[in-house]
Amino acid sequence: MKKFKIKSGDTVKVIAGDHKGAEGKVLSILKDTDRLVVEGVNMVSKHTKPSATNPQGGIVKKEASLHISNVALVEDGETVRVGYRVDGDKKVRFSKKSDKAI
């Protein structure tokens, strides 16, 4: 089982690629391909056929996935690296820049 330091709901910043500098919230993580979907980043046009749920059909804009190595976690407006430590009997994530629990 793969373990990533970025979770769904975290705010991330794209640090490489065409969308470098863009920030958004993580919507989902695709563990089998090491990718994630970020809200409002890497938008693609998907052509949809008319169906019962969408009788008009047409072109729909949606987010495509990014590789997890191309994003960094944002904490207090700055990108940070994430570490783990045990506080009492709980395992918590912490920012290596500020040493605060996330």
Query: What's phi and psi for 48, nearest 5 deg?
Result: -115, 140
Domains located in the chain, CATH noted: 11-95 (2.30.30.30)
Query: What's phi and psi for 71, nearest 5 deg?
Result: -130, 155
Length of the chain: 102
This prediction has a pTM of: 0.86
Q: How far apart are CA 9 and CA 6, in angstroms?
A: 9
- According to DSSP, the residues that pair with 13 across neighbouring strands are 23, 72
**C-beta separation of 93 from 82 below 8 A:** yes
Per-residue pLDDT averaged across 22-49, rounded? 96
- Segment 45-78, tens digit of pLDDT: 999 999 999 899 999 999 999 999 999 999 999 9
